[in-house]
Chain A
Amino acid sequence: MKPVDIVRTAFGNAFRAKLRTSLTVLAIIIGAFTLSLTNGIGTGINNYISDTVAGIGVDDVMTVTKTSERAGFDTGPAEYDPNQLAAGEGGPHGGPGPVVGLTSDDIDTIAGVEGVIRVAPVKNVSLDYVQHGNGKKYQLSLSQFAPGMRAELAAGSQIDLEAHEAQIVLPEPYLEPLGFTTADAAVGREVTLAVTNVTGAQTTTTATIVGVAAPGIVSVAGAIPNDVLLNTLFDLQSVGAAPGTADLFASASVWFDANAGDAATTALQKRLSDAGFTATTLADQLGTMTSVIDVIVMVLSGFAVIALLAASIGIVNTLYMAVQERTREVGLMKAMGLSSARVFALFSVEAVVIGLLGSALGVAAAVVVGKAASAALANSVLSAMPGLSIVAFNPLTVALVVLGVMALAFLAGTMPALRAAKQDPIASLRYE
């Protein structure tokens, strides 16, 4: 029997009992639909994260901190280091506990490491408040921006880091409290920013609002200052500090050649690590975020896989019935010289056909429903996050779902197919 005849016959056989096959196919559709949808949500959110990557960093910059001995359960307490920064001042990426600051000497050391193109200290500023005119004072945190970063803007323009006057991009939720009616009305206005210096005295400076940042799930949390404003605030904050301690930075940004490949990046991280620093790339930081989403998607997909496993038991059942029904037919075909291997193939392909139909229809339904749902959500619940398409489909994943279900169906079909293959033609022909 030729393979093409086996496939054609199996296709025809699958629909001899239309209702039974349709119900089995329906069970697979449900599983494949759910699996495609959960994967689609994972793809959609991860796409959104990588699309908005420019908002949280650029890929040729890594954040470098001084490696500190953390008190561990087996290493004992860490020794006091006069250069450690107080808890809570750890900068955007420092964990809990004190972080050892980088001195100007450390910055020079980093600049000397092979592969470092440029290094700039990240100046950490704790704002006391932000105020517009004589209105109420609100707390505000500052986010650091490197050249090439880009915020999602509701109004105005991106920050000009090299501008000569103090500029700031404010997050949208601050507009109304500060007394601005619209985002456009805020652009070009001046706000007052206050810091407390080392001696405990509070000083203020002003900055011009050049843009308003739209909220996004991964975009910057605080306001974005330009270099002039940041330096002004940092200097105000450092007034009265003992000599040498003023230039203590929580972290530094290191520019490297991102095109040199992952191995070169890893080697650079290793060299910085040997020099006593911890270097994190954007990929490392994104990795934590995407891996959280991946875990959630994996759990959801786990449920879909359970549904598929249940559906595959349906395939086993359907095929056992088919084998039972076609006992005499199988016996006749074997009497006429059909080999057991071909009988096995005939029933396995029938299982795969059921799997193919179920998964193809399920995936198609998921694509249709997913597109409709993300369009509907983008215009209602998720309208605050432009560019987020909650469900997105990657052709490779879709193909993997279909192939995976076909493989599962094949496995489910092996038991009934083996039974058919083992049948004795004479006993089968006598079977009533």
Chain B
Amino acid sequence: MTPLIGVENLHKTYGSGATACEALRGVSLDIAEGESLAIVGKSGSGKSTLMHLLALLDRPTSGTITLDGADTAALSRKELNRTRNQAFGFVFQQFFLNASASVLDNVTLPLMIAGQSARTRNTQAMAALAQLGLEDKAHNKAKDLSGGQMQRVVICRALINQPRVIFADEPTGNLDSATGATVENILFDLNREQGITLVVVTHDEDVAARCDRRIVIRDGLLWTGEQVAA
């Protein structure tokens, strides 16, 4: 079966000449549709770089990334934008909400970028907010929410375009353990119940342990030593 995302001998070098920095030095892995994958590693190990490449936010120096078996290097800028807009959802540690805009406007951003009408956007946003119990906050400003509520709004925003993959970069990094656990539960529920593939970059051992699979990145390489030593 073709993996959803296939990675083959991925290299990524930042800079050039004497100051060149090799962030990834030949990583290969497959991500199956519907699985949850934890990418674990120390800071500077290259795990964020790997996620950015998987999410098509950046192009590798060498190596291939396939999506549904098709080489993404062949995609035009426009097709890359459309793929990220329609197939991916993003959850970042720092939320990246527009503080002065309403919750509704924040959540509908991906649909507005996609060019949907205001009516469709609002209907879908209300459904996504209801799913996470935030429908009464729709018209509040984002800055008036608590940290846990903000991260739930971010998840709503990632969900609204019904993505195939959600990329989460330290999703619970800024939350206390109780709210962190709630957010975790939401993400894993989405993975289990809606079959959305989950790719989580994390330091958090608990989050990594709940994933179907975890990979460890060390010095730009996939570390195949004993799995518990992260």
Q: Using Cβ atoms and an 8 Å threshold, which residues of chain B touch A12? A: 101
Q: Using Cβ atoms and an 8 Å threshold, which residues of chain B touch A1? A: 112-113, 115
Contact B113 A333 (CB under 8 A): yes
A321 smallest CB distance to B (angstroms): 16
Q: Which of A195-203, A237-245, A334-342 is found at the contact surface with chain B?
A: A334-342
> For the complex, what is the distance from the CA of A16 to the CA of B114, rounded to whole Å?
24
Contact B57 A338 (CB under 8 A): no
Most buried by B among A1, A2, A331, A332: A332
Contact A16 B100 (CB under 8 A): yes
Q: Is the interface of A mostly helix, strand, loop or mixed?
A: helix
B38 smallest CB distance to A (angstroms): 21
> For the complex, what is the distance from the CA of A331 to the CA of B92, rounded to whole Å?
12
Contact B90 A338 (CB under 8 A): no
Contact B96 A429 (CB under 8 A): yes
A216 smallest CB distance to B (angstroms): 60
Q: Using Cβ atoms and an 8 Å threshold, which residues of chain A touch B28? A: none
B114 smallest CB distance to A (angstroms): 7
Contact B114 A337 (CB under 8 A): yes
Q: Using Cβ atoms and an 8 Å threshold, which residues of chain A touch B90? A: 332, 335-336
Contact A339 B81 (CB under 8 A): yes
> For the complex, what is the distance from the CA of A11 to the CA of B49, rounded to whole Å?
36
What 1/0 mask marks residues of chain B from 50 to 86 whose CB sits below 8 Å from any chain A CB?
Answer: 0010010110000000000000000001100111111
Known A426-B52, A426-B57, A426-B58; judge A338-B113 contact (CB<8 A). Answer: yes
The reply to whether the CB of A257 lies closer than 8 angstroms to some CB of chain B is no
B61 smallest CB distance to A (angstroms): 14
> For the complex, what is the distance from the CA of A16 to the CA of B85, rounded to whole Å?
26
Known A426-B52, A426-B57, A429-B96; judge A333-B109 contact (CB<8 A). Answer: yes
Q: Using Cβ atoms and an 8 Å threshold, which residues of chain A touch B57? A: 335, 425-426
Q: Using Cβ atoms and an 8 Å threshold, which residues of chain A touch B84? A: 335-337
Kindly identify which residue among B85, B96, B110 contacts A328, using a CB–CB cutoff of 8 Å. Answer: B96
Contact B77 A336 (CB under 8 A): no
Kindly identify which residue among B58, B92, B96, B110 contacts A337, using a CB–CB cutoff of 8 Å. Answer: B110
Contact B78 A2 (CB under 8 A): no
A238 smallest CB distance to B (angstroms): 88
Chain B residues with CB under 8 Å of chain A are: 52, 55, 57-58, 77-78, 81-86, 90, 92, 94, 96, 98, 100-101, 109-110, 112-115
Chain A residues with CB under 8 Å of chain B are: 1-2, 5, 9, 12, 16, 328-329, 331-333, 335-340, 342, 425-426, 429
Other than A12-B101, A340-B77, A429-B96, give 8 A-B pairs with Cβ distance below 8 A.
Answer: A328-B96, A329-B96, A332-B109, A335-B57, A336-B90, A337-B81, A337-B83, A337-B110
